Amino acid sequence: MQTTTAVDLGNPDLYTTLDRHDRWRAYAAEDAMVWSEPGSSPSGFWSVFSHRACAAVLGPSAPFTSEYGMMIGFDREHPDNSGGQMMVVSEQDQHRKLRKLVGPLLSRAAARKLSERVRAEVSGVLDRVLDGEVCDVAAAIGPRIPAAVVCEILGVPAEDQDMLIDLTNHAFGGEDELFDGMTPRQAHTEILVYFDELISARRASPGEDLVSTLLSDDELSIDDVLLNCDNVLIGGNETTRHAITGAVHAFATVPGLLARVRDGDVDVDTVVDEVLRWTSPAMHVLRVTTGEVTLNGRDLEPGTPVVAWLPAANRDPAVFEDPDTFRPGRKPNRHIAFGHGMHHCLGSALARIELAVVLREVAARVSRVELTKEPSWLRAVVVQGYRELSVRFTGR
Ligand code: HEM
């Protein structure tokens, strides 16, 4: 175990280069616990990196809560004001109720029903990019598919989808200079204004979508409905697009992967899990202790913020052999890319189906994916994401 106060791990500049993995691996290998002084997070925070410690913080019986916030930026004096209302930052009865309401819309059965829609979207995107021109997958492919799916779940009309993708990029893409036109806060406000209008429309004429389902529960306020639409929009778009981009990155860099997927030499669901582990798009989750806890041999007071770094856990050499290598047939693959415990990703079935369809469709229609330059990475701490992934596709 090691502790240090030298570095603010909430500084997004640390994550724009691949040496982030070396740093994380070194911390995970030592089962380190690192304190970041107040800076990126006004209250400071502890960090854990090993698979074991991250699972302990997120585990179902762990004395930790997300109700005061689940991201770096946590401020004890000003806890997350959607705490107790939005699923990902609520606990107990409200959390159970929301999962029960929203779960069926994101279930495996619901995801299966959406798979044809996903296939059509992937196919349409491939029609546009199989022209021999250089294609930035992070902009042209990654965001389209999850956005179309989430909009479908929410009941967002097709004509508004492009606007919502753009706003989501702005709101949750980090402080990257690509998004200078609008601050993340402004973009987030725009999304909520849009949902407010959608809620009024669904109140007048309910459907079978998420907005109507949330509205059907009399105990939920309009604020609750709004926040939980936002939760699904963000959860569904922001991470999945980077996993999809990462799947194309794997096709470009893992020898023989395209042919193996196309010929059925490898189980696609196994490849999906390796994409999730390797890309690990949710970079961290934060929790606050609800009682006295001993973590990695250190006693923590109630009210202490702790960050679990999911990509570090997913490349922990104690759990994953040769962790930096993408192994298409890796089994077992106990990654925690979807988190762990009570807040385990509710959209995981949907994300898996999206990735499986992308892998199958690309393999069926493409004979070669060639990187035209090295990828660049978002300057962000919430997501581990591609800023740009430029490739050239050769059709079959
Ligand atoms: C929660 C990751 C896709 C909706 C989470 C959490 C993680 C995560 C790590 C747990 C957060 C925490 O413990 O505080 C991912 C990744 C995805 C993905 C890596 C894609 C590769 C999706 C999709 C949707 C979605 C497609 C919906 C359409 C949600 C929701 C929660 C959640 C609603 C909150 C669950 C709860 O608090 O009980 N996700 N997610 N996610 N995700 Fe995802």
Q: Determine the atom of ligand 1 nearest the C-alpha atom of 70.
A: 14
Which residue matches tokens 């791990």?
A: 9
Count the Cβ atoms, other than its own, within 10 Å of residue 174. 21
- Output the pLDDT for position 180: 52
> Which bin fits 323, alpha (ψ -120 to 50), beta or left (φ > 0)?
alpha
Residue nearest to atom 30 of ligand 1 (CA): 346
Radius of gyration of the chain (CA): 20
Give CA angle at 175 (22, 2), nearest 5°. 30
Ligand 1 centre to CA of 206 (Å) is 26
Residue nearest to atom 13 of ligand 1 (CA): 343
Ligand 1 centre to CA of 348 (Å) is 7
Ligand 1 centre to CA of 282 (Å) is 8
In this structure, what DSSP letter does residue 132 have? S
Ligand 1 centre to CA of 5 (Å) is 30
d(CA 306, CA 303): 10
Q: Determine the atom of ligand 1 nearest the C-alpha atom of 276.
A: 21
The DSSP bridge partners found for residue 377 are 386
Alpha helices in the chain (DSSP H): 19-30, 51-58, 92-106, 108-129, 137-140, 144-154, 161-172, 184-204, 210-215, 222-253, 257-262, 268-279, 310-313, 348-365
Ligand 1 centre to CA of 338 (Å) is 6
- Output the pLDDT for position 238: 85
What class, spelled out in words, does domain 10-393 have in CATH? mainly alpha
Contact call for residues 36 and 334 (beta carbons, < 8 A): no
Residue nearest to atom 12 of ligand 1 (CA): 343
- Cβ neighbours of residue 299 closer than 8 Å, sequence gap 6 or more: 292, 293
- Cβ neighbours of residue 256 closer than 8 Å, sequence gap 6 or more: none
d(CA 136, CA 133): 10
Q: Determine the atom of ligand 1 nearest the C-alpha atom of 95.
A: 38
Q: Quick one: tokens of 291?
A: 């009682």
Torsions phi, psi for 88 (to 5 deg): -70, -20
Ligand 1 centre to CA of 381 (Å) is 16
Count the Cβ atoms, other than its own, within 10 Å of residue 345. 18
- Output the pLDDT for position 3: 59
User: How do residues 74-102 score in pLDDT, each as one tens digit?
Assistant: 998 999 889 999 999 999 999 999 999 99
C-alpha count within 13 angstroms, C-beta hemisphere, residue 207? 15
Which residue matches tokens 């913080």?
A: 57
Q: Determine the atom of ligand 1 nearest the C-alpha atom of 351.
A: 26
Given the cut 0.95, state whether the ipTM is greater than it. Answer: yes
Residue nearest to atom 32 of ligand 1 (CA): 345
Residue nearest to atom 5 of ligand 1 (CA): 345
Q: Determine the atom of ligand 1 nearest the C-alpha atom of 354.
A: 26
Residue nearest to atom 15 of ligand 1 (CA): 338
Q: Where are the domains of the chain?
A: 10-393
Provide the whole-model pTM.
0.95
- CA of residue 25 relative to chain centroid, distance: 20
Q: Determine the atom of ligand 1 nearest the C-alpha atom of 280.
A: 19
- Output the pLDDT for position 132: 83
Which of 345, 348, 383 has the most ligand 1 atoms within 8 A of CB, as the residue to mutate? 345
Ligand 1 centre to CA of 368 (Å) is 32
- Weakly modelled stretches of the chain, pLDDT under 50: 177
Give CA angle at 380 (376, 385), nearest 5°. 45
Buried b (16+ CB within 10 A) or exposed e, 261-283: bbeeebebeebbbbbbbbbbbbb
Residue among 382, 85, 105 at smallest CA distance from 227: 85
* DSSP labels, 342-372: GG--TTHHHHHHHHHHHHHHHHHHEEEEEES
Ligand 1 centre to CA of 277 (Å) is 14
Q: Quick one: tokens of 144?
A: 């389209």
Ligand 1 centre to CA of 392 (Å) is 31
Ligand 1 centre to CA of 235 (Å) is 5
Residue ranges lining ligand 1, Cβ < 6 Å: 58, 66, 70, 87-88, 99, 106, 146, 150, 231-232, 235-236, 239-240, 243, 276, 281-282, 285, 337-339, 343, 345-347, 350-351
Distances in whole angstroms, Cα of residue 77 to Cα of each of 43, 74, 209, 306, 378: 8, 9, 37, 16, 29
Q: Three-state SS for 33?
A: strand
- Cβ neighbours of residue 205 closer than 8 Å, sequence gap 6 or more: none
- Output the pLDDT for position 287: 98
Ligand 1 centre to CA of 339 (Å) is 8
Distances in whole angstroms, Cα of residue 390 to Cα of each of 20, 41, 110, 188: 21, 34, 33, 28
d(CA 44, CA 41): 5
